[in-house]
């Protein structure tokens, strides 16, 4: 497995990071362009808060973890200042999108904008020690917890009494976020948050009978036989499992990592396309037709997140199935997603693995999953000894 | 072209209508099941108001236009009574979806639920003469006009001042709806509605430079260089052109039909997939990557609506390009969408024309486009003489 370290590191530092450093910063209005064509040209100037926050986080994270390059801190700061000025409504409710100049386009209906803003400012606080960034992260995080019972608030179109489902995404993200900003939180707050989200992910959304994680369940955790209730998002579940593995280290509970490996492998076997390779984007747990017309597509983040989970799973448990699957997913990923001509990675492939959209960045794909994944995989594999650690 | 009449008629009366008569009515709770698997089995029981309204309309329409079969009237009434009782909030704001029993699931955020309810009750009033149905249609229609300036109301997530786009869908549907319920409206109301929507469709959303119709424009009709502003939906534009042809007959303005044919042909040439055949679902007018991951899929309604437009265009103008394109689209449609084994038509094909979802009905595909299209094409082609009428 160690053979891969250099490949992931050089892809990160010599291909992906330079592509975004060159094409993404908006040096006129601040913030970042994320709608980048195949060759890096900006094809749309709207600024999506998810991606602005994630890019601040990524540059700060490179600065904190890889090397204290001034241009990375500078890149993080120019995104953060734009976000601080224009990204929220004054009460740390973060808009969904802004115009290039910073005028709000879409209201703060999406709580994940707040999650990625929290990550951004938490990581930037580590880089700068500037207390105002820490405060933004903290206030936003408290706001998220406050809104978590009804994340969409007045923008929800569901009649609440009829089928009040709860979603997997928020507890999943909080598994990661609670460790990301642990340095800003009281011990008590960390404990209660981690305890709550671990319970939700591993005991409520995880279904022992099928071995799978559902995207939506009834408030009491039972199965809802509806489009939403039957929905599986294999990439989501597999990504969550490396968040759980990180928690298992933090909590010194190795049995959590073993359970996470078991769930990830089961999900990967279930979600793998036997015909064309790659992991499906959406599935229905009863095999019924889905509402998501993109269900059979192969997405960049699903595959890179799966590689992180398999690398961590192997490093922590030594399970040979992690190693076998890592090779399979690695081969699929590297033969389909990187663009040898213009650099960076494609995001959206059809079922057969052909490029569906040539973009390198858009409304949802930014400077996040690919560089985070390359970083996580190479640093995880570096920890392996001659044989793996966990053996 | 007349050779096709029998094929479309028998597909309607011997395949499609019996499939829905058999599998769709919910004889226990009223209304219809629309989530039907390949073989007609119900895989989900939620009731979507778009599809409930459209099915009432279709059964009423068959009764009014094809033959006064009591079972068609009965099928329409059982849907209409369910809608009347459970479909709206008491003020003729129509929910988006209900549970099988009729409890509201999704709030009345979508004005097209109201449009299809209006069509349903207007057509059922024709069938029954029952004034209470006419009144529901009329009240709902007035509500639509009242809401038309801000269709999503409190559910809109756009910050209104920043980029206040207006959409093509509502004026497009009103072209059809104003004739559908003309028997219920004052002459003045009909005139002002038709005048307004004709102007919107043919002078605001239609772009003379490109010859194409945009899905969203600035309030003053100018181009918005944004994801929404660049969006093309070729099937939508082509469908609207047969609504315009119907208006050209009603208004005795044959030049409108000629213009509609010109726009439809231009759109079809632009939207046709040269590589695999079929019409793309979405395109970007500047050729940029889109947000719609389903952009390259081939959808049933796009193709059947295109056949209506080409048949009417040929019948009204005699343009040989309509005849040539009718053959091409007819061949693509009949070799890809009908299911020879279990009957009815598939709805969703991938770019290559392979079945993407095996359903016969779902959240969006119901008893509407296929039967309406088969009916419209066969009755249009019947009107042709030895040569066409318009020659």
State the pLDDT at residue B390.
40
Whole-number percent of chain B with pLDDT over 90: 96
Minimal-distance CA residue of chain A relative to B153: A155
Residue with tokens 């078991």: A262
Q: Mean per-residue pLDDT for A362-374?
A: 98
Please indicate whether, in this complex, the C-beta atoms of A157 and B109 are within 8 angstroms of each other.
yes
Alpha helices in B29-69 (DSSP H): 49-65
CA distance A156 to chain B (A): 8
Please indicate whether, in this complex, the C-beta atoms of A297 and B296 are within 8 angstroms of each other.
no
pTM score: 0.96
- Residue pair B274/B257 in contact (Cβ under 8 Å)? The answer is no
Residue with tokens 């279930």: A270
Residue A2 banded pLDDT, cuts 50, 70, 90: confident
Best CA proximity match to B222, nearest among B237, B205, B208: B205
Residue B386 banded pLDDT, cuts 50, 70, 90: low
Interfacial B residues in 249-308 facing A (CB < 8 Å)? 286, 288-291, 293-297
Residue A297 banded pLDDT, cuts 50, 70, 90: very high
Select from A44, A154, A159 the Cβ nearest to the Cβ of B106.
Answer: A159
CA-to-CA dists, residue A359 to A290, A354, A369, B221, B265, angstroms? 26, 13, 15, 29, 30
pLDDT in tens, A170-225: 999 999 999 999 999 999 999 999 999 999 999 999 999 999 999 999 999 999 99
Rounded Cα gap, residues B66 and B372, in angstroms: 11
DSSP state of A221: S
State the pLDDT at residue A361.
98
pLDDT in tens, B253-265: 999 999 999 999 9
Count Cα atoms within 13 angstroms, Cβ side, for A365. Answer: 28
| Burial class of residue A101, CB neighbours in 10 A (0-12, 13-18, 19+) | middle
Rounded Cα gap, residues A77 and A121, in angstroms: 10
- Residue pair B201/B194 in contact (Cβ under 8 Å)? The answer is no
Select from B44, B105, B286 the Cβ nearest to the Cβ of A158.
Answer: B105
Tell me the two tokens of residue B122: 């207007």
Minimal-distance CA residue of chain B relative to A358: B289
pLDDT in tens, B59-96: 999 999 999 999 999 999 999 999 999 999 999 999 99
Partner B contacted by A359 (CB < 8 A): yes
Please indicate whether, in this complex, the C-beta atoms of A106 and B155 are within 8 angstroms of each other.
no
DSSP string, B203-245: IIIEETTTTEE-SEE-TTS----STTTTEE-HHHHHHHHHHHH
State the pLDDT at residue A351.
98
State the pLDDT at residue A386.
56
Is the confidence at residue B98, as pLDDT, over 60?
A: yes
> Best mutation site among B293, B296, B346, B363 for testing chain A: the one with the most A CBs within 10 Å?
B293
């Amino acid at each position: 497995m160690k053979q891969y370290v250099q490949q992931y590191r050089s892809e990160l530092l010599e291909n992906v990071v330079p592509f975004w450093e060159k094409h993404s910063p908006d040096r006129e209005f601040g913030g970042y362009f994320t709608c980048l064509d195949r060759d890096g040209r900006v094809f749309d100037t709207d600024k999506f808060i998810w991606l602005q926050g994630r890019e601040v986080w990524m540059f700060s994270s490179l600065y904190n973890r890889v090397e204290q390059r001034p241009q990375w801190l500078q890149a993080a700061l120019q995104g953060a200042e734009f976000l601080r000025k224009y990204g929220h409504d004054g009460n740390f409710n973060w808009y969904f999108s802004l115009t290039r100049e910073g005028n709000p386009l879409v209201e703060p209906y999406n709580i994940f904008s707040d999650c990625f803003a929290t990550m951004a400012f938490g990581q930037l606080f580590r880089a700068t020690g500037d207390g105002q960034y820490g405060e933004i992260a903290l206030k936003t995080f408290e706001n998220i917890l406050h809104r978590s019972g009804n994340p969409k608030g007045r923008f929800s179109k569901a009649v609440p009494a009829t089928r009040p489902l709860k979603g997997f995404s928020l507890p999943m993200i909080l598994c990661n976020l609670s460790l990301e900003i642990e340095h800003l939180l009281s011990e008590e707050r960390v404990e209660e948050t981690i305890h709550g989200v671990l319970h939700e992910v591993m005991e409520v959304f995880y279904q022992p009978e099928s071995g799978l994680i559902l995207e939506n369940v009834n408030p009491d955790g039972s199965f809802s036989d509806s489009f939403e209730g039957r929905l599986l998002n294999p990439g989501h579940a597999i990504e969550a499992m490396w968040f759980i593995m990180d928690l298992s280290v933090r909590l010194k509970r190795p049995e959590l990592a073993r359970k996470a490996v078991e769930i990830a492998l089961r999900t990967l076997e279930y979600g793998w396309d036997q015909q064309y390779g790659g992991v499906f984007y959406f599935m229905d747990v009863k095999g019924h037709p889905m509402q998501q017309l993109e269900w059979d597509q192969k997405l960049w983040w699903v595959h890179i997140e799966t590689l992180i989970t398999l690398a961590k799973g192997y490093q922590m448990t030594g399970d040979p199935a992690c190693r076998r699957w890592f090779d399979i997913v690695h081969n699929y990923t590297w033969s389909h997603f990187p663009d040898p001509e213009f650099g960076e990675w494609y995001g959206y492939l059809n079922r057969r693995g052909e490029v569906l959209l040539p973009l390198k960045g858009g409304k949802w794909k930014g400077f996040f999953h690919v560089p985070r994944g390359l970083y996580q995989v190479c640093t995880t594999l570096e920890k392996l000894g001659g044989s793996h650690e966990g053996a």
